[in-house]
Amino acid sequence: MAIVKLKDIAQTRSGDKGNTVNVGVFAPNQAIYQVFLTELTAERVKEHFTGLVEGEVIRYELPNILALNFVCTEALDGGGSTTLRLDNLGKCFGANMLRLEIEVDDQLLKVKKRGE
Amino acid sequence: MKKVRIGAAQGFYGDTIEAAVATAEKGDVQYLCFDALAELTMAILVKDKRKNENAGFTKDIPQQMKALLPYVKEKGIKLLTNGGGINPIGAQQEILRVARELGVRGLKVAVVTGDNVLNRIPEFLEKGYTLNHLETGKPIEDVKERLEFANAYIGAEPIVKALEGGADIVVTGRTTDTAQFLAPLIYEFGWSLDEWDKLASGVFMGHLLECSAQSTGGNFSGNWWEIEGFDRMGYPIAEVSDNGNFIISKVEDRGGLVTVDTVKEQMLYEIHDPSAYLTPDVIVDLTNVKLENTGVNKVSVTGVKGKPRTDTLKVVMGYENGYASQVIVGFSWPDAMLKAKKVDETIRIQLERYGLNYQEVRTDFMGYNSLSGPLAYDSQSELNEVFLRMVVRADTKQEAARFSRLFPPIALNGPPSMSGFAGNASPRALIGMWSTLLPREEVENQMKVEVVEV
């Protein structure tokens, strides 16, 4: 088993609606998607965003595009036009998700990594 | 088989018009659709209108029209925009003015009104609609006196009516981001308003196009360094079939990349439950969507499902919520972080001494944690430089303005090598957002479509 950052194996994109931020996390293949299903729980993501996300995190699964969608409530300190945060529209939540580390079987990492 | 080709023209207020012109010229499209309105945009337009009764629509409309009217005339391309913002009639007048100035004749410009419900709030309350906050359940009384705008998100129907009335250009206020994109399909294919799968497909197409280059390689989190032509991005073009399925592409000689990987990122952008994306036109289910690379810069989209629309419409209101004042100052190595922290501490001592009790005082260290907050990696010691950003929330503009005046003296009185002071910007108004639901007929019974020919 290896510890990897999502940066090395996943794509992400985040966006805002009111005080909610959603983060789409995309797996490069079916096998890694299966790992995401086990490793990337709503609880794990909520813990990862401690200090940024105050509310509940809900996870939706999209096996059709090998993606998970995390909807983070009370995530923008009031919302884009009222928060004092610099990342007022939550654009960097996706990038910050890429810091999350998960355990992956070495065999599965033989797929092309980012930047290779 | 009839196909309808639609081009994305604008992803937000302030977007470039270059890509739309390229699409008009080489994209073989019948429609160019604009999404000019973000939640925040309405607040900006309200302020414009307060200063000038004729303002309140996106100011880039005249430039857009000057650039695109020749194609409307020559190629019959139709333009659909929600850039009317808080003053769609003003926008229509402006478009007519530009058309006259350019000597364009026989042009029909339609306007859709009825989304602006600010003056109807007392009427709604009297009828017994609580207007409680959709997420928090809080009562409207908390913010009622401070409302700046209130607009219902309306769907594609009135735009279809405008097209049926022969409109070449349709300008609206707060139609949904996707309404401009769906409307031409209903009009061209004669879809009924209960063919849910087709409508859902049209809305999803709009969703993929409404943020311009975000589905053609812009803001791509994958191997972004492999994307070519950030300086001249091509915006997405959809070729839609009667059954709702569509293919995303772009003008070949513009920059960007259209692949399953670039498109799927946009697929989930600002989406919550993917099996129930609520719009005024249909509830969209994305859980069976299939994306396939079918050629160079071509992605086919199938499998979008729809469910009957709801009986309610979302209304978003903005209310005045105090003022923010921000200061940014830089510090260089050595001990850049320590210096910045010392100034943060110094300012906070002064705030206390001068009795400046702001609602909130926030500190970020730009170059270290301003975009990642508590998730920042701990590597502060050898930063080449760091910018201290401090920002306060105040009740009034005057109180907010006092904050930035504390900083200039620190340049000489504080730690060494403070530099890069960007100057004291004037405080900015903060706008709170209030979402609620209304029965759709309350809004729809006041919706109007008017077509004027020049």
Domains (range + CATH), chain B: 3-115+153-310 (no CATH), 320-433 (3.30.70)
Give me the amino acid identity at B419.
S
The residues, any chain, with a CB within 8 Å of residue B341's CB and separated by 6 or more, are B365
pLDDT tens, chain B, 454 aa long: 899 999 999 999 999 999 999 999 999 999 999 999 987 899 899 989 989 999 999 999 999 999 999 999 999 999 999 999 999 999 999 999 999 999 999 999 999 999 999 999 999 999 999 999 998 999 999 999 999 999 999 999 999 999 999 999 999 999 999 999 999 999 999 999 999 999 999 999 999 999 999 999 999 999 999 999 999 999 999 999 999 999 999 999 999 999 999 999 999 999 999 999 999 999 999 999 999 999 999 999 999 999 999 999 999 999 999 999 999 999 999 999 999 999 999 999 999 999 999 999 999 999 999 999 999 998 777 899 999 999 999 999 999 999 999 999 999 999 999 998 877 789 999 999 999 999 999 999 999 999 999 9
Tokens of B179: 């309404």
Q: Do B223 and A84 touch (CB under 8 A)?
A: no
Report cis status (omega within 30 of 0) of the bond before B334: yes
User: Which residues in A lie closer than 8 A to residue B387 (C-beta atoms)?
Assistant: none
Determine the residue of chain B that is closest to A9 in CA distance.
B222
Digit-coded pLDDT (tens) for A36-63: 999 999 999 999 999 999 999 999 999 9
CA atoms of B62 and B58, how far apart (whole Å):
9
- Supply the pTM of this predicted model: 0.96
Q: Do A11 and B290 touch (CB under 8 A)?
A: no
Beta partners for B117?
A: none
* Residue B290: its H or E element: strand B290-295
Domain boundaries, chain A: 2-107
User: Which residues in A lie closer than 8 A to residue B222 (C-beta atoms)?
Assistant: 11, 114
Tokens of B41: 């945009």
Determine the residue of chain B that is closest to A59 in CA distance.
B273
CB B276 within 8 A of CB B197: no
CB A16 within 8 A of CB A83: no
pLDDT at position B422 is 77
CA atoms of A59 and A44, how far apart (whole Å):
11
pLDDT at position A33 is 98
Rounded to the nearest angstrom, the minimum Cα separation between B99 and chain A is: 35
Q: Is the pLDDT of residue A104 over 60?
A: yes
Q: Do B40 and A81 touch (CB under 8 A)?
A: yes
CA atoms of B10 and B212, how far apart (whole Å):
6
User: Which residues in B lie closer than 8 A to residue A15 (C-beta atoms)?
Assistant: 269-270
CA atoms of B199 and B183, how far apart (whole Å):
9
Interface test with B, best of A12, A25, A65 (most B CBs within 10 A): A65
CA atoms of B227 and B52, how far apart (whole Å):
43
Written as one string, the DSSP assignment of B416-446 is S-EE-----PPPEEEEEEEEEEEEHHHHHTT
